[in-house]
């Protein structure tokens, strides 16, 4: 219940920003050995650097100050918190990349949404990039004939109140930003 209330406050107070790492964003190392480093990435921290100089502060840059050869097999969005694994060797990167590509890694997310889904279900729709008037691309529902790629996410309603809900999301495909897109 506290998580839902906190998520509602975050949705209500969200303001437009420039996409850079947010002040106070942090991470902690959960495990490290000769092959991998497992990190709990906090919300607000970019995973990899952005194209603009003000987006250089990120998890990979912070870790690279003492681990210069890190390999990235997967990513989390800036505003997503969670556990991620980075490779310290080329062999570990190959193994991780193959595991993600073969869907051997199960990923589960919890998110707050505006609106209340009627019941548990799945979003099974093609998604793709569409240009915005500002010249950027955003991910949206896009039929396959227009370049969309299949995307499937299962969801479970954990709590719903008023016009928002807390849901568990399980992506079955690995499309960028697929958790943000739904009917």
**Across the 183 residues of the chain, what is the mean pLDDT of every consecutive 10-residue run?**
50 64 95 97 94 93 91 91 96 96 92 89 92 84 90 94 94 86 69
The length of the chain in residues reads: 183
Contact 168, 109 (CB under 8 A): yes
Among residues 16, 18, 77, 163, which one is catalytic?
77
41-55 per-residue burial string, b: 16 or more CB within 10 A, e: under 16: bbebbbbeebeeeeb
Q: What local confidence, expressed as pLDDT, does residue 179 receive?
A: 86
Would residue 77 show up in a list of annotated catalytic residues for this protein? yes
| pLDDT, position 13 | 45
pTM: 0.77
CA proximity to 149, closest of 171, 117, 120? 171
What pLDDT is attached to residue 96?
Answer: 97
Given this model, what pLDDT does residue 177 score? 83
């Amino acid at each position: 219940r506290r998580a839902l209330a906190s998520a509602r406050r975050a949705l209500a107070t969200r303001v437009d920003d420039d996409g850079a790492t947010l002040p106070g964003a942090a991470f902690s190392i959960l495990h490290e050995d000769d092959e991998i480093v497992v990190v709990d990435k906090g919300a607000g921290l970019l995973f990899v650097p952005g194209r603009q100089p003000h987006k250089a502060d990120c998890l990979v840059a912070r870790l690279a100050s003492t681990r210069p050869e890190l390999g990235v097999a997967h990513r989390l969005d800036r505003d997503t918190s969670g556990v991620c694994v980075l490779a310290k060797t080329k062999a570990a990167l190959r193994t991780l990349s193959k595991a993600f590509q073969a869907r051997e890694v199960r990923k589960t997310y919890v998110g707050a949404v505006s609106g209340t889904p009627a019941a548990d279900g799945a979003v099974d729709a093609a998604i793709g990039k569409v240009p915005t008037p500002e010249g950027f691309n955003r991910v949206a529902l896009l039929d396959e004939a227009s370049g969309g790629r299949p995307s499937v996410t299962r969801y479970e309603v954990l709590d719903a109140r008023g016009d928002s809900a807390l849901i568990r999301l399980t992506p079955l495909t690995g499309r960028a930003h697929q958790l943000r897109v739904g009917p």
